[in-house]
Chain A
Amino acid sequence: MLDWAIDIAFYTGSACFVAAGLMALRHLRGNCGDTLKPAARVLLAGAALLLVTLVFRGVKWGMMPLTTTVDALSLFGLLTAVIMVYVVRKENAPAMLCFYAPPLAAACLINAAVAHDALHTSPRELQGLPLTLHVGTVFLAYALFFLASMTSAAYLFQAHRLKHRKTTGLFQRLPSLEQLDRTLWRLVRYGYPLFVATLALGFVWAWFDDQLLEARWWLAPKVIMSCAMVVFYGALFHLRRHGGLRGPKLSYLMLVGFVALLLAYFALDLLHLRDYNFWEGGA
């Protein structure tokens, strides 16, 4: 019975994300009435259903389900959707959904396509609240980085259209460059410290608990990549604040950085290098 409920909640939730993405794409084709307001509602419905999926899986296995890719992407999807709708409403910029919703829909579609077996397998147990918090909040930081990157894409689109004198269509419905820059900056300003704090929490915990990870966990590709990300975003953070890095260059770096991070994660996943025992010869 619970398996059925998990399936229904997960696939309906994923379908909601895909529908919202399609509605946002429909808006790109021209002003076809108000498709964005319903898209935001559908996104929230999808987020609620993914939350239900996680709760049901938690009830079924008696632990917080955060370690499988399906669970991780579901958590990422629901956090992103909620923050997305909040940002769009706060900034009064519904057209931003055209940049936010379709890539999220694509991620959810891929997740749904490969989820069937993983949905009914047990997640690995996270030992203790700090680790659960660490894993949970890291996805919150990823959601903020994802939205910052999509805001960068919107900025680049607007700046390009403005430079090339193409000022009709979606250009007219998107917010000003200044507003996009402010939104981008805010997302990074919340995302970066959260990411650093989350990582620090994981480091401290792994350092003091010898049994938790392998001996040289701090040399694992995943850890090195996370540190590289901290340095990269830290550099952007600093340059934005003190070096006057703003506008298209900042947006471009933000977008490229996130895409590189995403590709690196996929590469690690494909090469089975996501564990912490890389130097012990395991995979």
Chain B
Amino acid sequence: MNLVVTGLSHHTCPVEVREKLGFTTQAVPRALLRLGSQFDGGGAVILSTCNRVELYLHHPGEPRELGRQMCAFLSEWHNVPEAEFADHLYEYHGREAVGHLFRVASSLDSLVVGEAQILGQVHDAFIAAQAAQTTDKVLNALFQQAFSLAKRLRTNTDIGAGQVSISSVAVVLAASIFMDLSDKTVMIVGSGDVAELTLKSLVGRGVKDVLIANRHPERAEALAEAFQGRPVPFESLRDHLYRADILIGATAAPRFVLHPEDFQHAMPRRDHAPMFVIDIAVPRDVDPATSALDNVYVYDIDDLEKVVNQNMEARRREMERCLAAVEQEADKFVRWMSGLAAEPTIVSMSEELNAIRERELKKTLAALGDLTPKQRQEVEYLAQRIVNAILQRPMTHIKHEIGHHDPNTVIHLVKRLFGIEESG
């Protein structure tokens, strides 16, 4: 039995190619059934996300031939000529395939390394395959192992730590200042896509009180309606500044709108409680000198990008540790898989020795003549114990040796040693 994965991802091809070969959630069960019938006697899983399309197959066929057939399957299913995507395909066999799935599930192969979504997508792909009954013992174990490894890496390393988008970084920074966002007030000054996205994220994290200051009253009204906020006259912005725990600056003003003096006046009125200023505007709305004030934390767009880059860098640093763990787990899994290859040989070996036992037992019992039932039972037990003792060591060591040497050589040797060439 061979494990093969073939597919394409954001690493190997542009979205124009990926979108032609993607499987919708509704199409996956039908595609799995087709794969299952085409590759009878094995198992199959289809993983299709916006960044990758992959087919996992466990089958007795020759790996390269299986890869070719899987390519043909993709072509037929999507009605896309092989020539259009064959150059973008990658193909992994055996241990490489195991390592690949572990990397994918652990988000080490993702566009944004460490993102959490891929684990759910791999899980959904596996559940769909289980529902379509196209998984087998090896694929079940492989995917379970991938989930367990991915969770372990997320917990024990910083691979998923830190946010990597401007709006989510702003929210996480807010959460590092304030314990509970639900009792905090956000004031948005001006408007813009990133600012509104940030406000949306903050509202999503529980913020209920939103103040909107905009030079254009109609724009303020529209934002107030969208976020259940309250408009504040732009002219009296400074008078309302003390109410804001989080301030989002997003005007198109050519000069600073707020200065350190404005904050110096506001802080005593808010009992010097911390204030977080997210200045997304370019040119900036808040004088950077404000950052020197106690309890006022000012982040402009460059600062937020810097945090994004730091988080990305931190994740990249964790890659090495994670990849080492992936290699270790892949080795372990391959050893387990090789052990499975020995099972038919072990069964044959056991059958062969039991056949000898029965044959010899029959002769011995005939030679011994009349025996009491107890004596007969003791002789039978003796023979069984001898066979068990002979089998015990080879059974343990075959699995071990097969994981460290060429499985075919080990199996061939065992078959010759126990004379099971013909029957095995």
Chain A contact residues, CB within 8 Å of chain B: 30-34, 158, 162-163, 165-169, 171-172, 175-179, 182, 244-249
Contact = CB atoms under 8 A, between A and B. Distances in A.
Contacts of B313: 168
Interface residues of B, number: 30
A169 to B, nearest CB: 7
A176 B295 CA distance: 13
B179 A179 contact: yes
B274 interface: yes
Interface of B: 155-158, 161-162, 173, 175-180, 268, 271-274, 291, 294-295, 297, 299, 303, 306-307, 310-311, 313-314
Contacts of B173: 162, 167
Nearest to A166: B310
A247 B295 contact: yes
A245 B311 CA distance: 33
A167 B299 CA distance: 12
Given A162-B173, A162-B176, A163-B291, A30 B273 contact: no
Contact of B162 (A32, A165, A172): A172
Given A30-B158, A31-B156, A163-B297, A247 B274 contact: yes
B268 A169 contact: no
Given A167-B173, A178-B178, A178-B274, A162 B297 contact: yes
Nearest to A180: B179
B176 A34 contact: no
Nearest to A246: B272
B270 to A, nearest CB: 9
Given A165-B307, A176-B179, A177-B177, A248 B161 contact: no
A176 B299 contact: no
A248 B295 contact: yes
Contacts of A175: 179
A244 B268 contact: yes
Contacts of A248: 294-295
A95 to B, nearest CB: 12
Contact of B274 (A165, A168, A177, A249): A177
Contacts of B157: 31
B309 to A, nearest CB: 10
Nearest to A172: B161
A166 B179 CA distance: 19
A167 B312 CA distance: 12
Given A158-B176, A177-B274, A167 B307 contact: yes
B162 A245 contact: no
A205 B294 CA distance: 44
Given A172-B161, A246-B273, 7 more contacts: A162-B177, A163-B291, A167-B311, A169-B314, A172-B176, A179-B179, A246-B271
Contact of A176 (B158, B175, B310): B175
B176 to A, nearest CB: 5
B176 A165 contact: no
B383 to A, nearest CB: 52
Contacts of B307: 165, 167
A245 B177 contact: no
A270 to B, nearest CB: 37
Contacts of B156: 31-34
Given A32-B156, A244-B272, A167 B291 contact: no
Nearest to A177: B177
A177 B273 CA distance: 10
A262 B55 CA distance: 66
A163 B173 CA distance: 11
A182 B177 CA distance: 12
Given A31-B156, A172-B162, A178-B274, A165 B306 contact: yes
A171 B178 CA distance: 14
B205 to A, nearest CB: 12
A176 B173 CA distance: 9
B322 to A, nearest CB: 11
Contact of A178 (B162, B177, B271, B311): B177
A245 B272 contact: yes
Nearest to B180: A178
A248 B267 CA distance: 14
A275 B314 CA distance: 54
B176 A176 contact: yes
27 contacts: A31-B156, A34-B156, A158-B176, A162-B176, A165-B299, A165-B306, A165-B307, A165-B310, A167-B162, A167-B173, A168-B162, A168-B311, A168-B313, A169-B158, A171-B176, A172-B158, A172-B161, A172-B162, A175-B179, A176-B175, A176-B178, A177-B177, A177-B178, A178-B274, A244-B271, A247-B274, A247-B295
B271 A168 contact: no
A247 B294 contact: yes
Contact of B314 (A32, A158, A168, A182): A168
A242 B185 CA distance: 23
A167 B304 CA distance: 10
The 7 closest A-B pairs by CB, nearest first: A178-B179, A247-B295, A179-B179, A244-B272, A33-B156, A168-B314, A244-B271
Given A33-B156, A244-B268, A248-B295, A168 B175 contact: no
